[in-house]
Amino acid sequence: MISLEKQVAQASLKLKNLAQKSHLAHKHRQQPPARLKKQDIVLYVENLTVSFDGFKALNDLTFYLNSGELRCFIGPNGAGKSTMMDVLTGKTKVDSGSAWFVPDPGDPNPSHMLNLLEMDEVSIANAGIGRKFQKPSVFETLSVAQNLELALSMNRSVFKTYRSRLNGEQQDFMMATLEKIRLSSLANALAASLSHGQKQWLEIGMLLMQKPSLIMLDEPVAGMTPEEIEMTIALLHELKGQHTIMVVEHDMDFIRAIANQVVVLNQGTVLAEGNMDSIQSDPRVIKAYLGEGL
């Protein structure tokens, strides 16, 4: 296991160097990136810059995400973690940079890659990127099962929804998801009646119903009790490998429990990258976090 982690770490370091070398050439590239050495990259984020009224929320952010990996992003407040997710899900427009997504990791054809910066929220969601927001947002006046049903991946045409009914297979899938998010017994309860932690799970469940290949979780354990955090960790371990997962979180113990690869963001750019131990002993990281109790 450890050697595998090392390999991954080395590979991504190599990629980073490679990206830095080709930085200038790729500044305004509209073409999908030529395949880099690693074959299973699903997300290419290069030189993203976003500024709000002169303040650079993202500053030349570059990273690559491998298929099936779970990558954590940490960083002090204002480091650009949520902005990064906003950009990648079509909510915020960038000043410069590029973000390419491979919808099907098994398909090596670069022309099937998607330019996320040219897509809106809806097409990005339909391309297989699911996002859980910082604040749990579920449909409060619908039941748990109905929330999941709406998220179920299927034809999104508005006319089709008028006649749509769940078939047996979809019901089974929903049951399995309910099981996974530990809400089987509350399937017919109103989402509004759930606890904070349960709402977070329901939102993760909705993500799973979308069958996304890339999942973005923005502070998934914020406001959870220690028991709920334990269960979320178990859930994430279950999902690891089936989906590519990006997690933004402040809770260090939680990150230590789930992540093999951690990226530290600071002032909109990557400050350090590596496993948890090397990150925590990195003097630059300590400096950035000074007083925040890392």
Partner 1 sequence: MNELTVQEKFLSGETKSFILVTALLGAVVVMLSLMPEGSFIHLPVYVVNLLGKYVTYAILALSVDLVWGYLGILTLGHCVFFALGGYVMGMYLTRSIGAQGVYGDPLLPDFMVFLNWHELPWYWQGLQYFPLAALLIICVPALLAYVFGRLAFFSRVSGVYLSIITQALTYAMMLAFFLNELGFGGNNGLTDFKTLLGFSLQTDGMRILLFALSVVTLCLCYLLCRSVVVSKLGRLCIAVRDAENRVRFIGYRVENIKLLIFVLSAVIAGIAGALYVPQVGIINPSEFSPVNSIEIIVCVALGGRGRLYGAVIGAFLVHIAKTMFTNLMPEFWLFALGALFVLVTLFLKDGVAGLLCVHLKTGSTETLTDKA
Judged by the rule CB under 8 A, the positions of this chain that interact with partner 1 are: 89, 121-122, 125-126, 130-131, 133, 137-143, 145-146, 149-151, 153, 156, 158-159, 161-166, 171, 174-175, 184-185, 187-188, 190, 192-193, 206, 210
Q: Which is nearer to partner 1, 142 or 294 (CB)?
A: 142
**How far is 121 from 212, CA to CA, in rounded Å?**
14
Q: Round to whole Å and give the CA distance between 228 and 138.
A: 18
Considering only the C-alpha atoms of the chain, give the largest distance between any 2 of them, rounded to a whole number of Å.
59
CB of 282 to partner 1, least distance (A): 34
Nearer to partner 1, 96 or 143 (CB): 143
Which of 81/131 has CB closer to partner 1? 131
Residue placing its CB nearer to partner 1 in the complex, 77 or 188 = 188
Closer to partner 1 at the Cβ: 3 or 141? 141
Least distance (Å) between residue 209 CB and partner 1 = 8
Nearer to partner 1, 245 or 272 (CB): 245
Q: Residue 69 and residue 210: Cα distance in Å, rounded?
A: 19
DSSP letters, 136-162, are: ----TTSBHHHHHHHHS-S---HHHHH
Asked if 258 and 247 count as a contact pair (C-beta separation under 8 A), the reply is yes
> How far apart are CB 204 and partner 1 at their closest, in Å?
13
Supply the minimum distance, in Å, between the C-beta of residue 218 and partner 1.
11
Residues contacting 206, CB < 8 A, separation 6+: 130, 138, 147, 148, 150, 151
Q: Which is nearer to partner 1, 150 or 290 (CB)?
A: 150
- Please list the residues that pair with 114 across neighbouring strands: 101
For the bound state, the minimum distance from the C-beta of residue 148 to partner 1, rounded and expressed in Å, comes to 8
Q: Minimum Å distance from CB 203 to partner 1? A: 9
- Min CB(22)–partner 1 separation in Å: 32
C-alpha triplet 60, 66, 68: angle, nearest 5°:
140
Alpha helices in the chain (DSSP H): 2-21, 81-88, 121-126, 144-151, 158-163, 168-180, 196-209, 226-239, 252-258, 276-280, 283-289
